[in-house]
């Protein structure tokens, strides 16, 4: 293991700290609660294509502020419906995932390389480099793993960018479909469509549980 110097971990640590402080401020200040969601949704929709670009842009830079991805996804369905909302979310969330990946790689990868050395952690890093596509694709399907955590962890690992990019966009689609269906039916929460959307979420959650078990089994077999 190489000597770990302060410059190897400080930039990424400062970045994460600033993002966490911004999110903490937004939550404690109560500013999020003052937003008129229906009015904002109507305004964004009325802007047409420029409004869509604005929504995608906000989603793409969202990781810089650690704002919850699920809330924006619900907003996309609420504003644009299940299909167009899903398309915009996949583009915006996928681009935000790439941004998170590169931030972690540029600011934190050097420190990880020194930490791994030649031990078990290095072996795990090598396996991620070889099987990263499948791993990212699977964990994107687990709804209870934070979206940004996957992107940042991938950037710190040895996975190739092309592998991450493809798995990142593909893995987003099922969750985007489920959340956008919920968001699209929030205006009428007593309708049968909303009940179906909730059922889809439950099925997605259950499927994510089984995917998580598969990932753990794969990790355990790799350590043997």
What phi, psi does 133 have (nearest 5°)?
Answer: -60, -50
**What is the pLDDT, as a whole number, of residue 48?**
93
Tens-place pLDDT, residues 26-82 = 667 766 677 788 899 999 999 999 999 999 999 998 888 778 888 889 999 999 999
Tell me the whole-structure pTM to 2 decimals: 0.78
pLDDT tens, position by position, 153-208: 888 888 888 999 999 999 999 989 999 999 999 888 888 888 988 898 888 888 87
Summarised one tens digit per residue, pLDDT across range 137-152 is 888 888 878 888 888 8
31 vs 105: which has the higher pLDDT: 105
Exposure b/e, 8-40, CB count within 10 A at least 16 = b: bbebbeebbeebeeeeeeeeeeeeeeeeeeeee
In the chain, where are the structural domains located? Answer: 7-30+37-223
Cα 53 to Cα 42, 47, 92, 212: the distances in Å are: 15, 10, 9, 34
Q: Return d(Cα 143, Cα 208) in angstroms, integer.
A: 6
Contacts with 155 (C-beta within 8 Å, 6 or more apart), sequence order? 100, 101, 102, 103, 104, 105, 108, 109, 164
């Amino acid at each position: 293991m190489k000597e770990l110097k302060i410059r190897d971990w400080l930039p990424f640590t400062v970045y994460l700290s600033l993002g966490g402080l911004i999110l903490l401020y937004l939550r404690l200040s109560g500013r999020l609660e003052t937003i008129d969601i229906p009015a904002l949704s109507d305004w964004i929709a009325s802007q047409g294509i420029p409004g869509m670009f604005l929504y995608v842009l906000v989603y793409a830079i969202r990781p810089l502020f650690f704002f919850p991805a699920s809330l924006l996804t619900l907003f996309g369905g609420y504003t644009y419906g299940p299909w167009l909302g899903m398309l915009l979310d996949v583009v915006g969330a996928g681009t935000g995932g790439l941004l998170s990946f590169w931030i972690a790689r540029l600011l934190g990868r050097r420190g990880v390389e020194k930490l791994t050395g030649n031990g078990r952690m290095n072996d795990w890093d090598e396996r991620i480099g070889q099987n990263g596509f499948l791993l990212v694709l699977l964990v994107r399907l687990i709804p209870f793993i934070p979206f940004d955590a996957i992107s940042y962890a991938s950037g710190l690992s040895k996975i190739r960018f092309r592998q991450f990019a493809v798995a990142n966009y593909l893995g987003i689609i099922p969750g985007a479909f489920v959340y956008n269906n919920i968001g699209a039916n929030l205006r009428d929460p007593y309708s049968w469509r909303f009940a179906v959307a909730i059922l889809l979420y439950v099925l997605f959650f259950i499927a994510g549980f089984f995917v998580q078990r598969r990932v753990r089994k794969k990790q355990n077999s790799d350590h043997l």
